[in-house]
Amino acid sequence: MLGVVGLNVISFFFETFFSQYRIINIPNERERGGLYEGILMCIPIILTTTTIKLLQKWIKDNQRITELSNLTLRMELNELRNQINPHFLFNMLNNVKALIRTNPEKATTVIMKLSEFLRYQLYENGEEKTLLTSEIDFLSNFINLEKIRREDLSVDIYVNIDKRTLNSIFIPPNLFTTFVENAVKHSVDFDADENYIKINFKMENEKLYFECINSKNSKYLVSDKKSSGLGLINIKRRLELLYQNTYELDIISTDKEYFVTLMIPV
């Protein structure tokens, strides 16, 4: 429709302003040929404008789809993070409950330390990224709380990263909490000479490596597989959403030890 209107406008324009320059001796076939040539000239213009319009629409639709996808991703990440945090607090409150009966003084200390965890959750855990040093301090405080309750537990945290690099690394918060929490839970063995947890952080080729090894009771049975596996299921899904196929997670369980190795790009 627009092409026909355009042809009529062009024809009227030429008839009105350029009729005096017309060569009368041109055969009728040439006049008909001129109309065909005009149509052929308009076709590329119509195709070009149509293509531009379709391209603009495709770009807008693609931007909208990308925004919706990113919004869905952020919502799912927040939901998974909110599931991990209550799971962690639930276990800590169980520890406090046990200490209130056996050692009220230690229970008071644990409650005070727990307030520091809540501060971390409120002011740092709400951000998309946090300093690796803050995350290490958080894990150290958590383990120290457990050592108050379990004097036989030996814990070593090694950070094989130079200070300048360490203070410039940002990671998603609570990325290692689930693994350390499981290490604390599985390291309980009253028959063993030593219950231990060894944690190591190192950097290689712009990749951060987290290693966690803990002693294990071969007779330990998970009383509730559904609740105990919730943290690992969530953290695996969170890693998939954050890093897709750029991360590596290996979990090995033997009769005496439990190994976790996680590599993420930074």
Q: Quick: pLDDT tens for 173-213.
A: 888 988 998 888 877 765 656 789 999 999 999 999 999 99
Q: Provide mean pLDDT across the span 28-44.
A: 58
Quick one: tokens of 92? Answer: 């800590």
Instruction: Name the least confident of 39-48, 147-156, 236-245.
Output: 39-48
Mean pLDDT of the chain: 76
* CA–CA dist 35, 28 (Å, integer): 11
Superfamily for domain range 75-265: Histidine kinase-like ATPase, C-terminal domain (3.30.565.10)
Least confident of 77-86, 115-124, 191-200, 213-222: 77-86
Range of lowest pLDDT (70-74, 91-95, 163-167): 70-74
Which residues in the chain are classed under CATH 3.30.565.10? 75-265
Tell me the whole-structure pTM to 2 decimals: 0.64
Which token pair is 67? Answer: 């925004």
**Spatial contact of 225 and 175, defined as CB atoms under 8 Å apart:** no
CB-based burial label for 155 (10 Å; 0-12, 13-18, 19+): buried
Alpha-carbon span 98 to 115, nearest angstrom: 18
Name the one residue in this structure whose structure tokens are 């056996």.
102
What is the pLDDT, as a whole number, of residue 81? Answer: 62
